[in-house]
Amino acid sequence: MPPSDAAVLAHTNPVFSLRRVGAMVLRYWYLLRGSWPRFLELAYWPTMQMILWGYINQFMASSSAWVAQGAGVLVSAVLLWDVLFRGQLGVSVSFLEEMWSRNLGHLFVSPLRPGEWVAALFGMSLIRTVIGVVPAALLAIPLFGYSLFDLGLPLAGFFANLIVFGWSLGLVIVALILRYGMGAEGLAWIVVFMLAPVSAVYYPVSVLPGWLQWVALSLPSAHVFEGMRAILFDGTMRWDHLAWAVGLNVLFMGLCTAAFLYSFHQARVRGALLQTGE
């Protein structure tokens, strides 16, 4: 008898397979494209936020010298904040889709490895973030005469640091849900807002009390928003802030990956992969 497909596959089973990552991205894409309300929802919130803060920005520019100095500072802030929020939500919601459909059992008796699954969650988060934030950023140009893309090349650095920080937060939420079950589901929608006050999204870190400034500066997000304001107000690129953001992201991603792997291992100890769901 010739070797079965399975026998052939076993001998060509790589430790990390881009094809399996792609299969999982395809799975989430099928889900997204199958529901136009979900698609619309992705762009709806960032757009509404941008419009709201756009008008606040216009009003503040006429009454505040600080805002007037930095064209579109509040619009930039809200759009970049949404990159962080969407980045985290993209990981958490895709994970929750598996919990809602009780699909983890099937996934992890297939050759899919946890690292490939996480890579797919990150990939889908990137797609969801782009779908959500780019239309809002484009709409800001005709509505308020301000283009986020005027930030230039540093925008790519800001975007990358914020989405990676969002992924770290998303991984921690996945770890907590794997550990505590669906009772922890609500964290997916609230965790990121705990960080908003200390991320100095709409105001400089210097506004915060001294002890809270240290907390703020231990987060990559605060460095990104400080860097963004440096460009908008002074026209200077603060490489020190970018370096801090990258370094802290490496640290957070390492810690959050460890938390995820520990939680995944514990799920195998407790049998949660087969049983967890709604």
Among 45, 105, 143, 147, binds another protein (CB under 8 A): 105
Q: Is 197 in the site for another protein (CB under 8 A)?
A: no
Q: Which is nearer to another protein, 18 or 48 (CB)?
A: 18
268 binds another protein (CB under 8 A): yes
Query: Rule CB under 8 A: which of 42-71 touch another protein?
Result: none
CA separation, residue 56 to residues 59, 66, 70, 202 (Å) = 5, 13, 14, 12
4 binds another protein (CB under 8 A): yes
Under the binding rule (CB under 8 A), the answer on residue 270 touching another protein is yes
Return the residue of 35, 64, 69, 206 that touches another protein, per CB under 8 A. 35
Q: Least distance in Å: CB of 60 to another protein?
A: 43
Per rule CB under 8 A, is residue 36 in the interface with another protein? Answer: no
Distances (CA, A) of 63 to 58, 77, 195: 9, 19, 28
Sign of CA dihedral 48, 49, 55, 56: positive
Rg of the chain, C-alpha, whole Å: 21
Structure tokens at 77: 């802030």
- Binding-site member from 41, 48, 59, 111 for another protein (CB under 8 A): 111
**C-alpha–C-alpha distance, residues 88 and 172, integer Å:** 10
The reply to whether 17 sits near another protein by the rule CB under 8 A is yes
Distance between CA 185 and CA 181 in Å, rounded?
8
Which residue from 170, 193, 157, 60 is spatially nearest to 121, judged by alpha carbons? 170
Please give the residue ranges that form the binding site for another protein (CB under 8 A). Answer: 1, 4-7, 9-10, 12-13, 17, 19-20, 22-24, 26-27, 30-31, 34-35, 97, 101-103, 105-113, 265, 268-271, 273-274
